[in-house]
A = this chain, B = another copy of it.
Amino acid sequence: MFVVMRTGAGEAEVNGVKGMILAEGLTPFENAGRDRTVIAVVGDLGKRREQLRGRLEGLAGVAQVTPISKPYKLVSREFHPENTVIKVLDATIGDGGLSVMAGPCSVESRDQLIETVDHVAARGATIIRGGAFKPRTSPYSFQGLGVEGLRYLAEARQRTGLPVITEVMEPNQVDIVAEYADILQIGTRNMQNFSLLLACGRAGRPVMLKRGFGNTIEEWLMAAEYIASAGNSQIVMCERGIRTFDTSTRNTLDLTAVPLMHHLTHLPVIVDPSHATGKRWLVKPLAIGGAAVGADGIMVEVHPRPEEALSDAEQQLDFAGFDSMMAAVSAVHAHVRDLQGDLLPPAAAGSGKA
């Protein structure tokens, strides 16, 4: 249920609404939008729904009380019509620019990381990526450098001035990762690791949530709702391919998800063509495709010598490949940027009451 306040409603009126919601044992979430404030009522309303609705409508400053048509609430465009814009250090995600998250799949050594970040930072990457804790299908594969890797990432941030994103795999790791990294990444296999979602929601850092390779759009939004319900709506959604019957690429990159998500949610959406395709030479065309369908960013893997990589050797770009991709994707993004506002269906681009 959303309580839409009248234009010009003041703090006292908003607090009156919140007080009634809290008194019912429910949780109010407030979105102070450009034009008006909306308060989402979250919790198990059960049979009191209609009665509560009537009482809320009677409060001072309330324009209307409307049901929520979707199972996700805080991450929906209905609740929050404007795009969410996330700022980390000097980087901004979701403001119409194109974020480029680049770096090695795994942090393998200090030298490998520094060599890579120096290059990508010089060529326009806006955020540094690198895996310290690695989720591996086999218990016998390289599992990452752990905290040592986090320290190198912190050094990389220091050198480049760019924020760092890295994966966190379990609730117990959240504190240590949040100490070193600027953005917490939740991987595809953990998209429905609900304890991890909640722990990241409480960590006070932006979170990037990769789509599970076996998960629907709605489940992805519900996973983001877990994070938001824990008090954190600084969430970046990352499409990275889903499982299908076709085996010609590792997964099938679902670029339709980008405009669809922009319609359904206010959160920024980025695309990871490296993991989706698993093939180096497909990264560039699909990064361009991602920018063209309106993605807020691209995440790619870069390695000084991909053939020596300890993980995902087939899909990491070398430096020349990164440069070529950057040039192309930047040009396409600059070009389609003006078309983007137009990509939303009328209702979503409008008042958010869709």
Contact = CB atoms under 8 A, between A and B. Distances in A.
Interface of A: 42-44, 71-73, 135-140, 169-173, 189-190, 192-196, 198, 212-219, 222, 225-226, 229, 242-249, 252-256, 258-260, 263, 276-277, 281-282, 284-286, 288-289, 291-294, 324, 328, 331-332, 335-336, 339, 342-346
Contacts of A254: 244, 246, 252-253
Contacts of A291: 292
A315 to B, nearest CB: 13
Nearest to A71: B138
Nearest to A43: B140
A277 B286 CA distance: 19
A18 to B, nearest CB: 18
A293 B218 CA distance: 27
Contacts of A328: 336, 339, 342
A345 B283 CA distance: 11
Contact of A194 (B136, B195, B213): B136
A214 B243 contact: yes
A243, A253, A285 interface centre (most CB from chain B within 10 Å): A285
Nearest to A135: B194
